[in-house]
Amino acid sequence: MVVGDFPIELDTLVVGAGPGGYVAAIRAAQLGQKVAIVEKGNLGGVCLNVGCIPSKALINAAHRVEHAKHSDEMGISAENVTVDFSKVQEWKSSVVNKLTGGVEGLLKGNKAEIIRGEAYFVDQNTVRIMDEKSSQTYKFNNCIIATGSTPIEIPSFKWSERVISSTGALALKEIPKKMVVIGGGYIGTELGTAYANFGTEVTILEGSDQILPGFEKQMSTLVSRRLKKKNVEIFTNAMAQGVEETADGVTVTAEVKGETKTFEADYVLVTVGRRPNTDELGLEQVGVELTERGLVKIDKQCRTSVPNIYAIGDIVEGPALAHKASYEGKIAAEAISGEPAEIDYLAIPAVVFSDPELASVGYTEAEAKEAGYDVKASKFPFAANGRALSLNDTDGFMKLITRKEDGLVLGAQIAGPSASDMIAELGLAIEAGMTAEDIALTIHAHPTLGEITMEAAEVAIGSPIHIVK
């Protein structure tokens, strides 16, 4: 290839190497396209570096601490449980490094060129990629934009050493004595739970009338109850107003149900959402249309208003989920190769690694009714499952949503241990057009949490074994 003032030509250029971008690049290369992927930061994007992966590592470590301290019921007691937080952070970083190194190996193994730098669109077939030392022009036939999102900064809570985003919370050098979390969504709840398990006094301020407002009230109530057992204070209908910083802490002011309250802490973690990274790309140069929120408008093949430019992940409509971005990356790459791939979000799962875990896929009961279905909601409790009892973790339930006329599976919600793993079977059931009877007739290994799926299906068809009809 010729470099310098002469443009390098590509079949497909992918901008952003997060879980959407790197998957898109690999699939495009597998389909025979000459591919390059450009990334200004670390391979793996937010998810692998400062999001999904490090947060789950921290959550798992915190669970180990909690289990060590609270297993008296099982006849196990441990005295003077200590945490070397610097070692926890080292271990967390080792997990991240293994995965980001793996991504680099996968890209190279599929012959996708990796380019370091920032991309700026010159026209609909050209970008200029710049790093600190040089710049290079690349010509492409097609482009997939996968630049992800950034935590939203509240004007009255500017980022600082004590006012931190999720990125800052994952990189703390010590376990805080006190932490205020603004925003009780999935990020705030997950990280708040992790630090509470480490021993931090956590206060969550949530603007709506429940934490985890994207989930059914009965599910979020289970999480609230567990958090309160960990001495986490939760204030709903709470609007954060401002913060005063000192050398060793913060004082947060908030309006809670019409009353002004103050909260003192070592840190305030702000998790009120994320904004799409669509600025400073030069999209206006090529006529890529955006929504009022700065999201890129796409069709069912992830194609933007410019036919040869595609967009995926957090910069398009829908939930900011890594697995959604990966899914869309495959669709875009296949569409470029002329395959009839289209996005279908019906069976996209949503998971919160709270305590207990929450997971949902397909329709909720309310959504199914709103869509015009005559539905049946069938529940089975974790407390009636032998494996859950042996884990000493019986809070929770599975709720199966089926169509009354034929038992077609429309959706499912799970609150309980390993909900994040269990939801996949229900996603497959929806994708495959399976009925509750199909699931009930599938032999599930015993004793497992997976049996709860079979048992909920048996409730749906009117033949439950392990609960009274």
Binding residues for NAD(+): 183-190, 206, 273
- Helix, strand, or coil here: 122? strand
CA atoms within 13 A on the CB side of 420: 10
Question: Residue 182 is encoded by which pair of tokens?
Answer: 């603004």
How many separate helices (H) and strands (E) can be counted in the chain?
A: 14, 22
Per the DSSP assignment, residues forming a β-bridge with 202 are: 179
CB atoms within 10 A of CB 156: 11
> How far is 33 from 125, CA to CA, in rounded Å?
16
Greatest pairwise CA separation for the chain in angstroms: 76
* CA 304 to the chain's CA centroid: 24
Terminal-residue alpha carbon distance, the chain? 71
State the alpha helices, DSSP H only, in 116-180.
Answer: 166-169
Which amino acid appears at position 457 of this protein? A
d(CA 17, CA 260): 44
**447, 386 Cβ separation under 8 angstroms:** yes
For the question of residue 70 being annotated catalytic, the response is no
Feature table: binding site for FAD: 56, 147-149, 314
Distance (Å, whole) CA 56 – CA 96: 11
Angstrom distance (rounded) from CA 323 to CA 161 = 31
> Using an 8 Å Cβ cutoff, are 1 and 9 in contact?
no
Q: Give the residue ranges of the annotated binding site.
A: 56, 147-149, 183-190, 206, 273, 314
Residues paired with residue 423 on neighbouring β-strands, in sequence order: none
Phi, psi dihedrals of residue 132, rounded to the nearest 5°:
-70, -25
Residues 175, 200 contacting (CB under 8 angstroms): yes
Q: Which of 67, 70, 446, 466 is catalytic?
A: 446
Q: Nearest Cα to 206, choosing from 178, 223, 402, 325?
A: 223
How far, in Å, CA of 295 to CA of 290, rounded? 5
Which residues does the annotation mark as catalytic?
A: 446
